[in-house]
Structure 1
């Protein structure tokens, strides 16, 4: 009989070669599949042993069809009682379209009607639809006036091996993992390797598939159900013989398996999933899983010998991740060249630019598709290091490149210019550099003995590899110029901010650091968020609030981590009220206040949309108000959208209703093109105090924020 096997794009040649190894010779490649001929035993063997196919389809009708009537008549040409019981269940997978049928759901409905009507006319009973575990799965494809009706012998896609119940983020499908391994030389070259290593193994798919290949375990052996399991044409005797043969091969393969399989990942929770997956696959005892970052990977901690390193590193699905990941790829490349001479490395990625920074030349590369993502597998032979490389690595000091030295000189110059001010003011958190040189577009902030680096996103027209090279010069220069360890330098990338993006989590370290600002103890987090919990440019206005707060009721709108409230309390405020939508940041504000010994009775936090809260208030209850709204926000928790340029008049009016007669409102925002509407706010005294709220570390970037002092007219 004729069979059609589907597979991911890019695997067609490998699938055809696999069929030949399974004894199926009459084959022909198509896009995302292979056609072949074989008997029922061949079809069963493919379902059980194919590591690459998604589905095994057995066509039962092919003919012309354009209209709904043509489709109905075509489906009725099949004798459906040869395939399903009258009271059985079915599921239709429909693809394609014509001018008359342009909706797959409608097409599937017509196919179902044709099958049900035929069986009901013959028996008086009718099958029903089951979308989860049907007795018969039917595949119908319409293309260029032709229709093909096929029985799906596989049922669920064959890439589901039944061992992976848990996975990490963006897991690789099992049949794609098998293709990556085959293209990497596994298991064809297994005699050349002493071990196989995946340094970023995630849920363990590559290692488990590799172990199953090496041990001759049929990938479908764990599955409890196939598309043919309740098909009326199923011949159980043939299937049972194949399963018995596969179990025998598995037992023999496992008894002879000697190669070391090693998996490392920094995420301990995903490693637990990997171990459980390996246990279900029956290969857990052959894989050594352990927690380890790529940066900490050492060849001497692995089993002896040469091997194959194969991995699917992160490739940057989210905005801003690519530059961060380039450091990971560069570090991986350096590790391979320094410690893994004689090995073969296979790196699979959907972002080939990342592999360019590894500084290695691929011997082979293959185009594969990870779902819809066009991806590349790069295979690198790792040669021995040259003697001059060894000498350079053993030198105590590696000289900076010209660009890195130039950048280091600028940092030293800036630090010298700010040194007197920093010492006099006893400042420990300040901005040292802010894109002073356009080609080195970063902001560098000092937080005591740590450095926070924010890279401004480069325009798309700039070569990302060139951008990364400059960023690497920056990261190389900072520890040398500032005489601090490299692990004290934290890098992030800043995109154009909309809504609350600047507050979104970047990681989950939960590492807080205490810093001091004019007598206030404040908690910052340099790792988990794009911003740290302390806006350094607002330092002067916070200090002004501290100096003016004695005996006053202070309102802090859009309060973030409550640093202005802490300053007000430090200055002797009678009470502080901090309002923000985020429970996370209000809790942070509470911790900041508690850290300074201020009771919660006089210092409260309210989780609310500030604009909504302002509209609900009428009584002048505050002597000092600080309002620092975002430039733009469309948060789901807000009513409507906030645009500071458009909405600032309404915000100021609402705040001024709550301000007592002699009170002061400080209105600040970071929109660089902001222009206050003096005419609309003519009922108040509006004074632009921006220049006086810029300390020396922000004077060279005087558009970092705008700040206004607003009071009632006498």
Structure 2
């Protein structure tokens, strides 16, 4: 066997340049980049050193043959031609990994099978002994890459991927692979900072991957020093004496590194469930004396051990995947920027993100950006020098400016021109509608409803909370532009309204069908008590698309309250029975509320109890149409606000308001007392009231009278009618 080998080192996409530099420093020669890999030449000692010391590679492959192949037969022949007795005993085990396609081989499983057959047939003894297949821990792991008629046959010296260092047995929801974390640290300049005795801090450390990889670098510990089994462990070409010498040298370097005074390396994590797993990982990596992990969120992050210590802040903020995550992400980046500006002057920072447009929310310019891939997700590393001249405002604070005012100035500077116009519109609306709401004693109202078409949001105030619904943009709008505008709006809302960021809740309202607006979006179970017209109501801003209180029906609810005295009230499709509470407060003789959802009837019960109205209030869980067909009671006042469409599993058939409203109203009018009143409303924008309704009953459209000041700019929010017997 030759003393000089062709080696291929694979790596995550985007790390090729860094891996080339690392491998060259470790002795690899004639190095060239490939996609997600590098190749070069070296002896076995360098191959071992690469396995032991590479912080960036996934695998170290030793090429044993290259040959042209035209079909499955020539592939088999090329593999069979190798003297496999130099590599594996007939009694040994192997695993084959096959990648690429072409030469009539379009199925990797079939390609791997042909490679395996060729090896087994070559090693089969006269007695019939032959290697077995072991996909988990084989004696020899063979890799064949097929590329444009060229087969590259290699032995995998690594075994399991080199990113699996062995210390991370517990991990969070979406951890970075260890070699990607190492690459981010290298790009962020940590080896230089560590060599100068600098500190390392991660304010969102998760299970500690950045901290551990940084500690391994600073303490001069080979990343794979603790690995016990390698791809070459049972390879017949393995030279144990050479490997043992290199491993002993690495052990000595680690002992010397750990004997030095430890650097200041600290992690902070808001999720208490991750603290112990992170500390366990640190312990397994042998860095318990170097790394400390504390519970704390970004807003309280204080990395500086003393006024003179400088270092690197590194972090990988979470990616938004759930409804409403946009707001939390915007404010998370703003909090991070605040902490960097206030507590880390003179430090360097690296923010690894899948949403680089959020970087500008930090209020500090990045002087460099590097592209990476986290699996299939494109990401960027934003490098920042936390210096006054890098702050977006150009200064940390004006001479007589309080810290809060300085931060508000920074936040104002973070908005685009459109974002500032949006903030101005919010403030204008707040001045106008706020005065009206205070005069009328209204705590909950719509402040903004896509007033500026490019900022397609509905913004409602619930006391000192902000409920934001993003309307799904039309397909003609560039999604990136829509996202950027949303981030702009979310950045503007707290400062324009003077409301803390943590009191902003964001949801996305798609074009609805069926009962999606009633589906659970989260499960926080937190209720806020609000008042309206002298009654108290519970709203939930987080768990459902709607909050439990339809603000546009406020005038109708108050009308019902005024008219309910001494009357028998029926509320169909009652939802959380807010209209029922108003009717009972207005002195209704009795109330009956019907809805199919147990969840909302429980909510209705809580609303009634909150007002001391739980007695004499009837709640019915039923399909409204079926219930009306069975009911024989009489009512003086009826309110119906049906969904546009419903196909609940608990009801028979499908309800469509346009198709079924005649039958619905006929059934309800049959239950209305002779001098009674029925109010009918719905928010289906294309709804047309069937002419036969006006032929049968006295009908008056009252839509304009049921729109308060906060909904007059959106006259299509609902339509409403008053029906009475002729």
Contact 1:194 / 1:304 at 8 angstroms: preserved in 2? Answer: no
Identify which of 459, 462, 465 aligns with 1:444.
Answer: 459
Look up the match of 1:482. Answer: none
Look up the match of 2:415. Answer: none
Identify which of 170, 176, 181 aligns with 1:166.
Answer: 170
Give distance in 1, aligned partners of 2:653 and 2:264.
57
Change (3 A) 1:191 1:242: closer
Contact 2:454 / 2:485 at 8 angstroms: preserved in 1? Answer: no
Q: Does 1:486 align with 2:500?
A: yes
Query: 1:210, CA displacement in angstroms?
Result: 0.5
Query: Secondary structure of the equivalent of 1:389?
Result: coil
Give distance in 2, aligned partners of 1:416 and 1:204.
51
Change (3 A) 1:220 1:703: same
Contact 2:658 / 2:687 at 8 angstroms: preserved in 1? Answer: no
Identify which of 674, 677, 690 aligns with 1:678.
Answer: 690
Deviations 1:316-337 (A, max 9, x none): 4567645653343344334323
Give distance in 2, aligned partners of 1:98 and 1:640.
56
Give distance in 2, aligned partners of 1:279 and 1:89.
34
Q: Does 1:389 align with 2:397?
A: yes
Look up the match of 1:24. Answer: 28
Q: Unaligned regions of 5+ residues in structure 2, if any?
A: 413-419
Judge which range, 61-70 or 224-233, deviates more.
Answer: 224-233
Q: Does 1:2 align with 2:6?
A: yes
Contact 2:361 / 2:491 at 8 angstroms: preserved in 1? Answer: no
Contact 2:269 / 2:296 at 8 angstroms: preserved in 1? Answer: yes
Contact 2:341 / 2:396 at 8 angstroms: preserved in 1? Answer: no
Query: 1:198, CA displacement in angstroms?
Result: 1.2
Change (3 A) 1:467 1:575: closer
Query: Secondary structure of the equivalent of 1:138?
Result: strand
Query: Secondary structure of the equivalent of 1:363?
Result: strand
Judge which range, 316-325 or 68-77, deviates more.
Answer: 316-325
Give distance in 2, aligned partners of 1:539 and 1:418.
12
Change (3 A) 1:253 1:533: farther
Change (3 A) 1:87 1:336: same
Identify which of 158, 173, 179 aligns with 1:175.
Answer: 179
- Please report the TM-score for the alignment, with normalisation by the length of structure 2: 0.82
Give distance in 1, aligned partners of 2:132 and 2:682.
62
Contact 1:163 / 1:278 at 8 angstroms: preserved in 2? Answer: yes
Equivalenced residue count is 692
Question: Within 5 Å, which residues of 2 pair with 1:335-414?
Answer: 335-384=339-388, 389-391=397-399, 393-394=401-402, 403=421, 404=423, 407-414=426-433
Look up the match of 1:691. Answer: 704
Contact 1:68 / 1:100 at 8 angstroms: preserved in 2? Answer: yes
Give distance in 2, aligned partners of 1:88 and 1:353.
53
Change (3 A) 1:617 1:42: farther
Give distance in 1, aligned partners of 2:507 and 2:107.
43
Q: Does 1:150 align with 2:154?
A: yes
Query: Secondary structure of the equivalent of 2:105?
Result: coil
Question: Within 5 Å, which residues of 2 pair with 1:121-132?
Answer: 123-125=127-129, 127-132=131-136
Query: 1:261, CA displacement in angstroms?
Result: 1.0
Look up the match of 1:536. Answer: 551
Query: Secondary structure of the equivalent of 2:401?
Result: helix
Give distance in 1, aligned partners of 2:196 and 2:522.
40
Change (3 A) 1:353 1:555: same
Query: 1:698, CA displacement in angstroms?
Result: 1.7
Query: Secondary structure of the equivalent of 1:380?
Result: strand
Q: Please, what is the CA RMSD of the aligned residues?
A: 4.1
Query: 1:259, CA displacement in angstroms?
Result: 1.1
Contact 2:69 / 2:103 at 8 angstroms: preserved in 1? Answer: no
Give distance in 2, aligned partners of 1:494 and 1:44.
53
Query: 1:414, CA displacement in angstroms?
Result: 2.2
Change (3 A) 1:36 1:244: same
Give distance in 2, aligned partners of 1:336 and 1:678.
63
Query: 1:412, CA displacement in angstroms?
Result: 0.8
Change (3 A) 1:640 1:702: same
Change (3 A) 1:44 1:674: same
- Please report the TM-score for the alignment, with normalisation by the length of structure 1: 0.83
Change (3 A) 1:600 1:187: farther
Look up the match of 1:97. Answer: 101
Deviations 1:278-329 (A, max 9, x none): 2222223422222333233346677851111111123445676456533433
Look up the match of 2:536. Answer: 521
Deviations 1:360-392 (A, max 9, x none): 333332222221223222222222467783415
Query: Secondary structure of the equivalent of 1:284?
Result: coil
Give distance in 2, aligned partners of 1:665 and 1:687.
11
Change (3 A) 1:148 1:299: closer
Query: 1:468, CA displacement in angstroms?
Result: 4.4
Give distance in 1, aligned partners of 2:233 and 2:427.
69
Contact 1:344 / 1:379 at 8 angstroms: preserved in 2? Answer: yes
Change (3 A) 1:106 1:251: same
Look up the match of 1:429. Answer: 444
Identify which of 16, 41, 51 aligns with 2:55.
Answer: 51
Deviations 1:10-66 (A, max 9, x none): 211211222233233342222211112234443333222211001112223321123
Q: Does 1:705 align with 2:718?
A: yes
Deviations 1:138-187 (A, max 9, x none): 32221111112222222222112222223333221111100010111112
Question: Within 5 Å, which residues of 2 pair with 1:197-596?
Answer: 197-298=201-302, 305-317=309-321, 321-322=325-326, 324-384=328-388, 389-391=397-399, 393-394=401-402, 403=421, 404=423, 407-420=426-439, 422-423=440-441, 427-438=442-453, 442-454=457-469, 459-460=477-478, 462=481, 468-469=487-488, 471-479=490-498, 486=500, 489-498=503-512, 510-543=525-558, 554=570, 556-557=572-573, 560-564=575-579, 566=581, 571=588, 573=590, 575-580=592-597, 588-596=603-611
Contact 2:683 / 2:719 at 8 angstroms: preserved in 1? Answer: yes
Query: 1:669, CA displacement in angstroms?
Result: 4.0
Query: Secondary structure of the equivalent of 1:61?
Result: strand
Judge which range, 266-275 or 496-505, deviates more.
Answer: 496-505
Give distance in 2, aligned partners of 1:512 and 1:649.
34
Give distance in 2, aligned partners of 1:670 and 1:432.
19
Contact 1:260 / 1:303 at 8 angstroms: preserved in 2? Answer: no
Identify which of 47, 56, 69 aligns with 1:65.
Answer: 69
Change (3 A) 1:355 1:693: same
Change (3 A) 1:70 1:669: farther
Change (3 A) 1:256 1:585: farther
Give distance in 2, aligned partners of 1:378 and 1:280.
30
Q: Unaligned regions of 5+ residues in structure 1, if any?
A: 480-484
Judge which range, 6-15 or 187-196, deviates more.
Answer: 187-196
Give distance in 2, aligned partners of 1:257 and 1:669.
71
